[in-house]
Amino acid sequence: MSKILKGLAAWVIALIVIIVIIVAAVGIYYGVILSSHKTITITYFDDLAPEEAKVFQTIILPQFEKEHPNIQVKYIDEGASDIVKNVEELVMSGKVGPVIIGEDNLVIGELLYGGYLMNLTPYINQILQNVTLISSMNALVQYEQKVYHGIYFIPLRANVPLVWYNKTVFEELNLTPPQNWQQLLQDAKIIYEKTGVKPIMFQGHGGASTYTELYQWMVQAGGNPFLFNDSGDILAFEYLYNLSEYFNPDYIHGYWGSYQGLANGKYYILDYQWPYIYSVLASEGVNMSRIGVYPGPAGPANDDHLVGGDVLAIPKGATHIKALIEFAKFLLSPQVQREFIIDLAWPAVNELAYKNLPSNISVVYEAEEEALEHAFFREPVPWITVWGQIADQVFNKIIVNHAPYSEIPQILSQANKEMYEYLLKNYNATVAQEYEEGIFGPLYG
Amino acid sequence: MKLNTSFFLILPAVIYVLAFAFYPTAEAIYLSFKDPHGGFTLFYYKELFSTFDATGAIINTVIVTIGALALQFIIGLIVALILTREFFGRRTLLTIVLIPMGIATVVAAVTFKFIFETSGGYANSILHSLFGISVNWYQNSLMSLLTVIISDSWKNTPIITLILLSGMMSIPEELYHAAAIDGAGPVRRFFYITLPNLRKFIGISLILRGVQEFNIFALPLILIGYHPPLLTTLIYNLYQTTFPEVGLALAGATVLIAFILVFVGIILILSGR
Amino acid sequence: MKRNILLYIGAIVVGIYFLFPLYVLVLLAFNSPKYTILKLYPSLLLQAPTLNNLIVALQGTAFIDPFIKSLETATLVGLITIALAVPAGYGLSRIPGRIAYPILVLLLVTNMMPGIVIGIPIAVDFIKLGLYETVIGLALAQTLITLPLATFIMQGTFSAIPSDLEYQARIDGADLFHRLFSVLIPLAAPGIVASFLISWMFSWDEFTYAILLMPYHSTLPVTIYIDVTRGNLLAGIAFSLVFTIPVIVLSYALQKYLKGEYLAGGLKG
């Protein structure tokens, strides 16, 4: 018996020795060999879908590394709020290193307000050497100059959510893509009655996916989403309440990564999803001529579209600024921005990228361009994620848990009150007052 | 002399526990009451219960705990009973029963995520091919909690089975023989001999597993996310969003600690220790 | 005879219940995606077995980095745990029960503290101390989970060694060092190995502290979670499968040590 035990103990010790050797070897490689080449390794954070990240890592980043042989780029993919938290932690720890981030324009406000970003004004001329920002992006830049008296982030790319639908089903039922909310409701009803499938997929999982989608619905009804209870907001929720009868049951899991149901017939209308799914679906062998895409139905008040997308920023205390600036210049250069358009279907922020585009530009891109004609940004206030949390709760109460229709206005008023009190407690009375007066709202270009 | 060296030997472990368990807990409770502008406040608790529906999260946590414990004990008891018998393939069954213990929580969660889906998924594949029906496993809060209960029980029934089995095997055969001679059938033997003798084992496993059930985190995070929220997932969600001001999340954490203390207290009183 | 049939039916049902999710994992990993994630009602049979899922997912640093992190952390946790538990277990076995018992209860109570409660203050403190996102920081935190059980096992192990043996060795002139290495440790070896292996497995599985203290370049469990929630389903599945294999192997090896002896030892002591 003890022989077996001694054998096992010896085996465990051998395992430990092997592990130590592996770890030491890896450590030596990274610590000694890499650094002896005096290469600077920049860390670049961004929040991309897996397909987009692949293009970035295999096509775009290697180009930079070829042009700058002594700079390596380490790409790290994280969710937008994870990037916020990560930057906060890095700055708090005092050991930042060469870090540059591509952050969602939704949450950049939190980093701005908290003072976690480096002031880029001294470097702006260098970075924008070869760049003319498209006019809609100016709204964002003007915002930061007005509120923060400096340039702390630079728009990198735009992203516009679109509506996707199953062309086969629409053709069979003689329907056309709905051009307004009423038509959407009607079409959904017809599809459900004829096929028994609840056709609409909504991003109902909660978190940024849900409250971003809600934001656009509320703006299109003429409301200021931050307030929750102005007439447009109430209208939007009442409409969604009725529309939710035709939501596919899977909607409570819907988020920025949901698209497969459109391909395998689970649902027929993907109400607002980011354009990256076009190339994903195509690469998975889906017959794309059966999938339709367009900017979506117009709301009762307007046909405005939310612009997402990323901005470039550098955490305070970052090192090797020169290398970071080279990288920023690279990403904003006409060449790379052109690749954004062609390879990723991302609307570029550099006007110079739009020269001489190939004529067979994708149907997705056309839809994006149409949507961008009336575009707005979510104002990057630092408390937007708290607003989002409350919006989630409201969505849960009204749509998911199906509160009585008559209670919608009071639920929304309650949300407004909670937001006000949060601002009162965590900021100050001025901010809370400004909030109530609707000073914070969608930013137009 | 010997007593002193023994205490010195225990000291590192005790210091470690104080530094890494008690100090952070005290810190958590303290920070949950600390106002960002200085001083003490109950603001975070108010926020927790009004805006973020902590009460709902508490109820959900209790439902999952009770449901999971019940399921684990029932199945664990049945499996242990089967394993007390000698039969061909007993060894194999024992190994199979231990398999969930060897599968990481994350892996189990991911797998169950593919088993239970709103439409489709492996569970529905079976139901569809046998009965032609499809169940939306997340159609309401209760169903979602049920998927968590089933998945968690699958992972944790083995340990209960092992404890109950070792308890059952320690009951002397003569007790059963004597009862059989007195005319007691298998059902009566179970209720009058097996269960009473297992009381100590059931008690210990109830406390250990019960507390762990309150703390389940990885499984619900992956399976149901924040819909509906359990206390642990609510705390994590708040932490992620309100960082670096962690007061709100820590208020939730303090509530969780309070619950566990209450739970343990109840069990201790009930088992008369 | 009738009872036997009932027994066998029960055994088979139980067997299927416990094996089914593992079978699903195998299907997900080895079946072509056409029959798994792309199909509304995924196939219950292995219809188009392929190694492609695994090959694509396991290439490159996306897998190796977390794998090594998990290895390093688990090994460190095992070492730290036995460094703390072996002396503590020995000390506890040699002092009177009425003093040892409360200390054991203290350790047990520690196990009841939810990871998420302790993890948040620890995370905030670690950021300031520079231990955030480090293997050593995570290992220190994970030891919290493994220490109580390991101490329990070691206390039981040492209790089972009659103090006469030690006494005998002392009379024979052996000093503390010799007593340790020629008497105590060889006899306690099974318990030490069991403690190390259990701690290793707990750490390998651990999620809560990993996601709080090392959220970005993390161990395998967190990486799997991130993959699954960010749409890298096939990668998550492949990692899950490879991740499970060491544990099944170790569990089987551990089965021999997990017999009642070491668990009951503490209860008696």
CATH number at residue B245: 1.10.3720.10
Sheet holding A162-166, edge to edge: A200-201, A269-273, A162-166, A291-294
How far apart CA C49 and CA C54 sit, in angstroms, is 11
Q: Are A82 and C216 in contact (CB under 8 A)?
A: yes
| Residue pLDDT, tens place only, A203-233 | 998 888 899 999 999 999 999 999 999 999 9
For C156, the token pair is: 């039981």
Return the domain boundaries, chain C.
Answer: 2-50, 64-262
pLDDT at A174: 93
The reply to whether B146 falls in a domain is yes
Q: Which residues contact A123 (CB under 8 A, 6 or more apart)?
A: A321, A325
Residue A429 near chain B (CB below 8 Å): no
Of B15, A404, A284, nearest to C106 by C-alpha is: B15
* Chain C CB within 8 Å of residue B124 CB: yes
Higher pLDDT, A20 or B210: B210
| B34 domain-assigned | no
pLDDT at C262: 42
CB contact C144 to B (< 8 Å): yes
Lowest mean pLDDT among A5-19, A21-35, A279-293: A21-35
Rounded Cα distance, A315 and A85, in Å:
12
Radius of gyration, alpha carbons of chain A: 25
Please give the average per-residue pLDDT across A19-38, as a whole number: 63
Q: Does B246 touch chain C (CB under 8 A)?
A: yes
C109-146: pLDDT as tens digits: 888 888 899 999 999 899 888 888 889 999 999 999 99
Q: How far is Cα C70 from Cα A57, in angstroms, rounded to an integer?
A: 25
3-state secondary structure of B229: coil
Nearest by CB to residue A266, choosing from C40, C72, C215, is C40
Residue B235 lies in a domain: yes
Chain A positions in Cβ-Cβ contact with residue B52 (cut-off 8 Å): 389, 393
Residue A164, CA distances (Å) to A264, A370, A416 in order: 14, 15, 32
- With tokens 């890592």, the residue in question is A57
Residue B29 inside a domain? The answer is: no
- Residue A130 confidence (pLDDT) above 90: no
Q: What's the pLDDT tens digit per position in A246-258?
A: 999 889 888 888 8
Q: Decide if B16 is inside a domain.
A: no
Are the Cβ atoms of A252 and B226 closer than 8 angstroms? no
Contact B227 A81 (CB under 8 A): no
Residues of chain C with pLDDT under 70: 1-3, 60, 173-181, 251-269
Domain that holds residue B241: 54-82+96-101+141-270
- List B residues 205-234 in contact with C (Cβ-Cβ < 8 A): 211, 214-215, 217-218, 221-222, 232
pLDDT in tens, A381-398: 988 988 998 999 899 899
DSSP state of C258: -
Chain C partners of B128 at a C-beta cutoff of 8 Å? 41
Residues of A in contact with B227 (CB under 8 A): 205-206, 252, 396, 400
Q: What is the second-level CATH architecture of the domain C64-262?
A: Orthogonal Bundle (1.10)
Q: Which two tokens stand for residue B132?
A: 């032609």
Q: Does A244 touch chain C (CB under 8 A)?
A: no
C127: nearest CB among A77, A78, A93: A93
* B10 belongs to a structural domain: no
- Residue B55 touches partner A, C-beta closer than 8 Å: no
CA C18 to centroid of chain Cα atoms: 20
Residue recorded with tokens 């937001």: A419
Enumerate the residues of chain C whose CB falls inside 8 A of the CB of residue B166.
Answer: 260, 263-264
Provide the Cα torsion C31, C37, C38, C41; round to 10°.
Answer: 90
Q: What is the pLDDT of residue C265?
A: 41
Q: Say yes or no: A396 contacts chain B, CB-CB below 8 A.
A: yes
- Which of A252, C64, A198, A425 lies closest to B50, judged by CA? A425
**Residue of C113, C209, C254 to mutate, testing the B interface (most B Cβ within 10 Å of its Cβ):** C113
Beta-sheet pairing, A162-166 with A291-294: antiparallel
Tell me C41's DSSP state.
Answer: S
**Domain-located, residue B4:** no
| Residue A57 half-sphere exposure toward CB, CA atoms < 13 A | 17
**Number of domains chain B is built from:** 1
Which chains pack against C, by 3+ Cβ pairs within 8 A?
A: A, B
- Grade residue A268 by pLDDT with cuts at 50, 70 and 90: very high
Determine contact: A403 vs chain B, CB below 8 A: no
Amino acid occupying residue B146:
L
Position C82 scores a pLDDT of 92
User: Does B170 fall in a domain?
Assistant: yes
Closest partner CB to A393 (pick from B51, B120, B240): B51
Q: Which helix (H) or strand (E) holds C12?
A: helix C2-30
Verify whether the Cβ–Cβ distance B126 to C44 is below 8 Å: yes
Instruction: Report CB contact under 8 Å: A95, C193.
Output: no
Asked if C144 and B119 come within 8 Å (Cβ–Cβ), the reply is no
CA atoms within 13 A on the CB side of C147: 32
- Is residue B233 a contact partner of residue B214, using CB atoms and an 8 Å limit? no
Which pLDDT tens digits describe chain B residue by residue (273 residues)? 456 777 888 888 889 999 999 999 999 999 899 877 778 888 888 888 887 888 999 999 999 999 999 999 999 988 988 888 888 888 888 888 888 887 889 999 999 999 998 777 899 888 888 888 888 888 888 999 999 999 999 999 998 998 888 888 888 888 888 888 888 777 777 887 888 888 878 887 888 888 889 999 999 999 988 888 899 999 998 888 777 788 889 999 999 999 888 888 887 787 665
Entry pTM? 0.82
- The distance of B243 to chain A (nearest Cα, Å) reads 7
Among B9, B24, B99, beta carbon nearest to C19: B99
3-state class (DSSP) for residue B34: strand
